[in-house]
Amino acid sequence: MVYHRKEKNKKSEVFDMPRMTVDPNYCKGCGLCINACPRKIIRLSENINAKGYNYAECIEQEKCTACKMCYITCPDVAITIEK
């Protein structure tokens, strides 16, 4: 998925930005990913999943560096990182 374009050497090249997604069906809203994120771009959603939990969500995808700290910390394997 293309998020932005960046110019280099007067030619326009397309770069993909990292993307962090949370599967709300697996997330129990423990908040470990929120504390682990160095950019502080993860929060608990106002929405509730089928199990009754507020699940995590990334609020500023463009600031994600794909460091995978949230992914490593998640005990429910609910987070996917795409580069």
What CATH number does the domain containing 33 carry? Answer: 3.30.70.3270
Q: Report yes or no on 63 lying in a domain.
A: yes
- Within the chain, what is the greatest distance between any pair of CA atoms? 51
Q: Report yes or no on 12 lying in a domain.
A: no
Q: Report yes or no on 37 lying in a domain.
A: yes
Q: What's the pLDDT score for residue 74? A: 98
Q: What's the pLDDT score for residue 43? A: 98
- Inform me whether the pLDDT recorded for 2 exceeds 80: no
Alpha helices per DSSP H over the chain: 32-36, 69-73
Q: Report yes or no on 65 lying in a domain.
A: yes
Do the strands 11-15 and 4-8 form a parallel or antiparallel pair, or are they unpaired? Answer: antiparallel
- Read off the pLDDT of each residue in 61-82 and give the average, rounded to a whole number: 97
- What is the tally of structural domains in the chain? 1
Please indicate, yes or no, whether the overall pTM of this predicted structure exceeds 0.75: yes
Q: What is the CA radius of gyration of the chain?
A: 15
Q: Report yes or no on 2 lying in a domain.
A: no
Burial class (CB in 10 A: 0-12, 13-18, 19+), 8: exposed
Q: Report yes or no on 61 lying in a domain.
A: yes
Q: Report yes or no on 7 lying in a domain.
A: no
The whole domain housing 41 covers: 18-82
Interval 9-64: pLDDT, tens: 444 445 578 999 999 999 999 999 999 999 999 999 999 999 999 999 999 999 99
Q: What's the pLDDT score for residue 15? A: 54
